[in-house]
Chain A
Amino acid sequence: MAMEERRAWIMVVVTITTYPWYVVTILGRAATVPLAEVSYVGTLLWTVGGAIVGSIVLTIVVSIFFPKDADKKDQRDREIHRFGEAMGQSFVILGAVAAMLMAMAEFQYFWIANVIYLCFVLSSVLGSTAKVIAYRRGLPLW
């Protein structure tokens, strides 16, 4: 398995582990107060920070186990990376547009922040999954 494919797997695993933890934590606090009034900022920042640190640590661990492949990257890796990023980009744009519309409609900060975070998560999952599929089945011919 190419190192870049391992990195894509790490992103998928980290994202689908940390986001549900965040959602469960926030929903747990909503038992006593309305959801939009739950304290979420610290948890969100810790979750994002934890995901970044987690992916860095996992990448280092994987590089230790597979030192031969750690710094190898070729044309195919770069093409797959660009393809994955392009796929994930759609959700970043969707999140930005949604946040803009919600701000115009004067939604509460809680909803705006969480819609943006959700779109980042979806972008990461979609982009990384697209990379894994491209590694396994090949790049699509449009």
Chain B
Amino acid sequence: MVKPTRVTNTIRSLRFSHGEMTQAELADRIGVTRQTVIAIEQGRYSPSLEMAFQIARVFQVRLDDVFQYPDE
């Protein structure tokens, strides 16, 4: 019944390449809790499309530079 999400992301490396941004900082920028950022980074939570765009905008990259959906 419970399946982990297949969506992967590069948030962790993007944070480090953007002045070692903390999870708390990113959370504040997109208006969520730090726990939600941690859950997204660890692939335990797939954000909404809107939140995904907000994350991409923070790092000033395209959406698929942040999130990937691998083939079968």
A contact residues vs B (CB 8 Å cutoff)? 1-2, 5, 69, 72-77, 133, 135, 137-142
Contacts and interface: CB of A to CB of B under 8 A. Distances in A.
Contacts of A139: 45
A138 B39 contact: yes
A74 B50 CA distance: 13
8 contacts: A2-B35, A2-B36, A74-B32, A74-B36, A77-B36, A133-B2, A139-B45, A142-B1
Dominant SS among interface residues on chain B: loop
Given A75-B48, A75-B51, A76-B45, A141 B35 contact: no
B60 interface: no
B31 A74 contact: yes
A90 to B, nearest CB: 14
B13 interface: no
A69 B35 CA distance: 10
Contact of A76 (B1, B36, B43): B36
From B2, B4, B33, B43, residue with most partner A Cβ within 10 Å:
B33
Contact of B1 (A5, A74, A140): A140
A97 B62 CA distance: 52
A72 B35 CA distance: 11
B35 A1 contact: yes
Contacts of B51: 75
